Structure 1
Amino acid sequence: MATIKDVSELAGVSQATVSRVINGTSRVSHDKKLKVEKAIKELGYRPNSIAQALAFSRTGSVGIMVPELGGPFYSGILHSVEEQLRRFGYHVVVSAGSLSESSQRESIEFLLSRRVDALIMHAQQLSDDYLIALEDSGIPIVLLNRFIPEMSDSCITIDNELGGKIATQYLLKLGHKHVACITGPLDKADARGRLQGYRNALIDAGLHYDEVLVSEAGFTEESGASAMQKILRRKCKFTAVFASNDHMALGACEVLTDEGYSVPDEISLIGFDDIIFARYLTPKLTTMNFPIEQMSLEAVQLIIQKLGKNKCDVNFKLLPSLVVRNSVKDLLTTL
């Protein structure tokens, strides 16, 4: 089946131009319009619900797309966004886009077919080009935890690099000179940012970045456990682990315990996100707070502003903060 990208390539114009021709949302030169219409006819392209969803009347609803409905991170986003939108008189329509590009596209198509007035999305699998074209089609958009330069006024992010640096600096401050790192999937910007923060903290402390101490995982407990096992098999020296999210920290903790290591007496552990279960683990997990409620508030304020309802200041880049609990040992006071 032909896509909007196929039409743009055959017509020799941008995907945004194709969207404008389909939706009639803004002026396009006569020549470009003819090229697009010819390409659509040749390819047999059928516009999807992105074009059909641009109704003149509003429905009083906002579409929310997250990868999954379960789990404390995404459920926290949904709860906070829904609560804030209700204060402005909006209802939410929710769709779970899973972790594949095709399923996230289907979720967007579903939400637009319900004629939502705007979209708030945690969409890591969708390409920059797709999201830029989607916004150019006329639907107000806010992206959570993602930055696209061409959509900078539609992105609410946190400073992941700073968070990774603060977490690692805390371990170094307590005397840990050999710190392992379990990263998230490095095709994701937030995982890359947290890893870069880890590297920057080591460099600032005059320490060598050692790839043997780093293992990539997938932001899940199972992948965190697997990454921890890999590091242990390498027989390298380390006294602490920085896991790039709390789920992976839990998986790492289970492996360390199973292998006979005491946390934090022998191996210290720090996570990232401060999801609800972090404070109920044994030991309670030291972690970096991901300001979900603030991100949700900023996203709602921005989408309401885009809908022309309210003018307010929006904080586009939020700062994580360290939450100290019991999973990190102070080596300096025990020497």
Structure 2
Amino acid sequence: MGYRPNAIARGLVNRTTMTIGLIIPDITSPFYPRVALGIEDRLLKAGYNLFLCNTSWNVARERDYLDNLIQKQVDGIIISSMTLRAEDIESYVPPEKPLIYVTSYPEGTERSYVLIDNVKGADMAVSHLLSRKRRRIAFIGSEQERHSLEDRLSGYRKALHRAGIEISEDIIVLDKFQEQSGYKIIRDLIEKGIVPDGVFAENDLIAMGVVQGVQDSGYRVPEDVAVIGFDDIPIASHPDIQLSTIHQPKYRIGTYAAEILLRQLGKEPSEREIERITLQPELIVRRST
């Protein structure tokens, strides 16, 4: 049998566990696993193991995971937090511990991050609907995705303002995210006599619910109501769905986050360069618009 060095013994010598913690809000989402895969693949190439923590949008669980990862002496942490403030997160993570934010970041942080330009992506989505002669464009979003929500709502408002269209607060609807949120919200709007001619949904799952809700209400997509989402999850391109959306390079986001963390490992806080990478979104036009 070949000799395999004991990882714990090696860690005592090198003061490293060769383990990185990753905290994400929803492992069941079609979005986050692709980001996690990019992180994992890059870390495995460098000889590190990944400790995956799924919070299920639970703030208390997120805090517990941060505490547990520090207790387990992981070498670094990558986190996608949609709920906690920078001071909440960084109160658990000592300055000498590398911490990278991925897909979103809290205001006030002095740590590195990798994300998409959410404001620009939302602007592109609404501008596309405007190019389709839509003027009463609803925004349907999730209260849980707080950090990205603020940016995407900002991009929505920016595009409408630039086009000289008055923003109607009655068609900006936020809800706790569930797969049926889009369906329920659009049905409720239509039943009240509020029928937008376009909908920008904060993510693709909400958008697909909107499409179904519009059709079940007797309207056509895109002839009566054009619908666009955000993320470009795999099912969005399915022949039966063909959802227009904003593409995020999910795997590349994960890879970049892992590479930043690897560059910071072994360096004193004063020696680390703060890297803030904002990737560009891409408009994907399909049948729903």
Normalised by the length of structure 2, the TM-score is 0.87
Listed as ranges, the gaps of 5+ residues in structure 2 are 1-12
**Greater gyration radius:** 1
- 1:197 is aligned to 2:158: no
1:274-303 deviation per Cα after TM superposition (whole angstroms, max 9, x unaligned): 011111163400000122122112201110
1:74 to 15, 32, 37: 32
Amino acid at match of 1:121: I
Q: State the secondary structure of the residue aligned to 2:91.
A: helix
Alpha-carbon distance in 1 for matches of 2:251, 2:97 = 24
C-alpha separation between the residues in 2 aligned to 1:110 and 1:149? 24
For 1:327, give the aligned amino acid: S
Aligned residues: 274
How far the C-alpha of 1:68 sits from its partner, in A, is: 2.6
Report how far residue 148 of structure 1 moved.
Answer: 3.4
Q: What code does the residue aligned with 1:322 have? A: L
Amino acid at match of 2:282: S
Q: Looking at both structures, which has the greater relative contact order when contacts are Cα pairs under 8 Å and sequence separation is at least 6?
A: 2
* Structure-2 separation of matches of 1:294 and 1:187: 21
Q: Does residue 1:161 correspond to 2:119, yes or no?
A: yes
**Matches of 1:266 and 1:282, distance apart in 2:** 18
Residue aligning to 1:317: 278
Q: Deviations over 1:202-236 (max 9, x none)?
A: 11011110112221123432222222123213313
| 1:125 to partner: Cα distance | 2.3
The amino acid of 1:326's aligned partner reads R
Matches within 5 A, 1:207-226: 207-226=165-184
The one of 226, 236, 254 equivalent to 1:278 is: 236
What pairs up with 1:164-313 in 2 under 5 angstroms?
A: 164-185=122-143, 188-280=146-238, 282-308=240-266
Q: Deviations over 1:116-174 (max 9, x none)?
A: 11111112222321222234353211111223354244222222111111100001012
Q: Which of 109, 118, 136 in structure 1 is aligned with 2:94?
A: 136
SS at match of 1:134: coil
Name 2:15's counterpart in structure 1.
57
Counterpart-to-counterpart distance in 1, 2:274 and 2:60? 35
CA contact (8 A) 1:97 1:105 kept: no
Change (3 A) 1:312 1:153: closer
Q: CA RMSD in A?
A: 2.4
Contact 1:141 1:303 in 2 (8 A): yes
1:200 to partner: Cα distance:
0.9
Show the counterpart of 1:13.
none
Alignment match of 1:126 (pick from 84, 89, 95): 84
Distance 1:113 1:136 in 2: 12
C-alpha change, 1:236 and 1:70, in structure 2 (3 Å) is closer
- Asked if the contact 1:298–1:314 (Cα under 8 Å) also holds between the matched residues in 2, the reply is no
Partner amino acid for 2:129? Answer: L
Aligned residue for 2:44? 86
Question: 1:229 and 1:146 mapped to 2: Cα distance?
Answer: 30
Mean CA deviation greater in 192-201 or 122-131: 122-131
Unaligned ranges ≥5, structure 1: 1-54, 329-335
Distance 2:171 2:17 in 1: 52
Structure 1 residues 153 and 208, CA gap change in structure 2 (3 angstroms): same
Dislocated runs of 4+, deviation >6 Å: none
Whether the 8 Å contact between 2:235 and 2:241 is mirrored in structure 1 is: no
Q: Name 1:112's counterpart in structure 2.
A: 70
SS of the residue corresponding to residue 109 of structure 2 reads helix
State which drifts further: 245-254 or 224-233. Answer: 224-233
Residue type matched to 1:316 in 2?
Answer: I
Identity of aligned residues (%): 27
Could you state the TM-score of these two structures normalised by the residue count of structure 1?
0.76
TM-superposed deviation, 1:176: 1.0
- Counterparts of 1:288 and 1:109, CA distance in 2: 35
Q: Which moved more, 1:83-92 or 1:232-241?
A: 232-241
